[in-house]
Amino acid sequence: MLTPRQLFLRHQAQTSDFPLLLEIERAEGVYMYAPDGTRYLDLISGIGVSNVGHRHPRVLAAIQGQLDKYLHLMVYGEVVQAPPAQLAQALTATLPARLDNVFFTNSGTEAVEGALKLAKRHTGRTGLISCHNAYHGSTHGALSITGSEGFKNAFRPLLPDVRHIRHNHFDDLQLITEHTAAVVIETVQGEAGVRVPAPGYLPALRQRCTEVGALLILDEIQCGFGRTGTFWAFEQFGIEPDILLTAKGMGGGMPIGAFIAPQAIMAGFKTDPILGHCTTFGGHPVSCAASLATLRVIQEENLLAGVEAKAARFREKLVHPTIREVRNCGLLMAVEFDSFAVLKPLIDRALWDQHLLTDWFLFCDNSLRIAPPLTITMEQIEEACAGLLEAISN
Ligand code: PMP
User: How far is the centre of ligand 1, averaged over its atoms, from the C-alpha of 97 (Å)?
Assistant: 26
Buried b (16+ CB within 10 A) or exposed e, 82-92: ebbeebbebbb
* Those residues with Cβ within 8 angstroms of residue 245's Cβ, 6 or more apart along the chain or in another chain: 108, 111, 112, 115, 217, 218, 219, 220, 221, 257, 258, 259, 260
Ligand 1 pocket, residue 221 CB under 6 Å: yes
pLDDT band of 253, cuts 50, 70, 90: very high
Interaxial angle between packed helices 285-300 and 82-93, expressed in degrees from 0 to 180 and rounded to the nearest 10: 30
Please tell me whether residue 84 adopts helix, strand or coil conformation: helix
Ligand 1 nearest-atom number relative to CA 109: 16
Residue 291 in this model has a pLDDT that exceeds 90: yes
pLDDT mean across residues, the chain: 98
Going by C-alpha positions, the residue among 95, 131, 102, 130 that lies closest to residue 116 is 130
Ligand 1 centroid distance, CA of 245 (Å): 10
- Tell me the per-residue pLDDT of 104-155, one tens digit each, with 9 for 90 and over: 999 999 999 999 999 999 999 999 999 999 999 999 999 999 999 999 999 9
Q: Which of 248, 254, 259, 362 to mutate to test the pocket of ligand 1 (most atoms within 8 A of CB)?
A: 248
pLDDT tens digits, 198-214: 999 999 999 999 999 99
d(CA 207, CA 212): 9
Where does the pLDDT of residue 227 fall: very low under 50, low under 70, confident under 90, or very high at 90 and above?
very high
pLDDT of residue 156: 97
Q: Identify the residue whose C-alpha is closest to ligand 1 atom 15.
A: 108
Compute, in angstroms, the gap from residue 393 CA to the centroid of ligand 1: 33
Specify the pLDDT at position 170: 98
Q: What is the mean pLDDT of residues 227-246?
A: 98
Report CA(69)–ligand 1 centroid distance (Å). Answer: 31
Q: Identify the residue whose C-alpha is closest to ligand 1 atom 5.
A: 222
Q: How many Cα atoms are found within 13 Å in the side-chain-facing hemisphere of 55?
A: 7
**What's the pLDDT at 304?**
98
- Cα angle value 61/284/298 (rounded, 5°): 45
Q: Is 136 in the pocket of ligand 1 (CB under 6 A)?
A: yes
0.75 exceeded by pTM: yes
Q: Which atom of ligand 1 is nearest to the CA of 186?
A: 3
| Residue 304: closest CA among 292, 313, 296 | 296
pLDDT at 12: 97
Give the residue among 303, 289, 375, 304 at the shortest CA–CA distance from 58: 289
- CA of 48 from ligand 1 middle (Å) equals 9
Q: Give the ligand 1 atom nearest the CA of 248.
A: 15
The C-alpha atoms of residue 322 and residue 337 are separated, in whole angstroms, by: 6
pLDDT mean over 263-276: 96
Residues 207, 325: Cα–Cα separation, whole Å: 32
C-beta 137 within 6 A of ligand 1: yes
Task: Confirm or reject: Cβ of 108 under 6 Å from ligand 1.
Answer: yes
- Does 190 contact ligand 1 (Cβ within 6 A)? yes
- List, in sequence order, every beta strand (DSSP E) within the chain: 26-28, 31-33, 39-42, 101-105, 127-131, 162-165, 180-186, 215-219, 243-246, 257-261, 325-329, 332-336, 356-357, 359-361, 364-370
Write down all domains in the chain, each with its CATH number in brackets: 4-55+302-393 (3.90.1150.10), 58-300 (3.40.640.10)
Is residue 116 within 8 A of residue 128, CB to CB? The reply is yes
Q: How confident is the model at residue 394 (pLDDT cuts 50, 70, 90)?
A: confident
- pLDDT at 369 > cutoff 90: yes
Among the listed residues 245, 240, 7, 241, the one whose alpha carbon sits nearest the alpha carbon of residue 114:
245
Q: Give the whole-angstrom CA distance, residue 179 versus residue 190.
A: 28
